[in-house]
Amino acid sequence: MVLKILRVSDVVGMKIFTDAGDYLGVVEEANIVENKIDGWKVRIAKDSTLTAVLSGARGLIIPHQYVKAFGEVLIISKAAVPIMEEKADEIPAD
């Protein structure tokens, strides 16, 4: 197995999906603190499946700890979008 090393510039523009398969948007830039990646600034796509849940937000910062995988796309934990969790709790039980 060959480990491919990515540069931050390789990740900018990459599509982001949650581990539940929801499309979120694309990486705009990296937030770097003390020479380490602290988070990712994300531009929410208009055709994102989460647009309604995010109440019209155009961007979001995803802490790096929520990144699960890099490859052709970036996969993040659905817990990185806290509004999703709140909306799930509001669904009435039958």
Query: pLDDT, tens digit, for every residue of 56-69?
Result: 678 888 999 999 99
- Tokens 């499309």 belong to residue: 23
In the predicted model, is pLDDT for residue 14 greater than 90?
yes
The answer to which of 10-14, 51-55, 90-94 has the lowest mean pLDDT is: 90-94
Could you give phi then psi for residue 17, rounded to 5 degrees?
-130, 150
pLDDT of residue 57: 72
Token pair of 19, please? 């581990």
In the predicted model, is pLDDT for residue 77 greater than 70?
yes
Give me the amino acid identity at 66: Y
Domains along the sequence of the chain with CATH:
8-89 (2.30.30.240)
The answer to which of 29-33, 49-53, 62-66, 89-93 has the lowest mean pLDDT is: 89-93
Q: Do the beta carbons of residue 16 and residue 71 sit within 8 Å?
A: no
Q: What is the pTM of this model?
A: 0.74
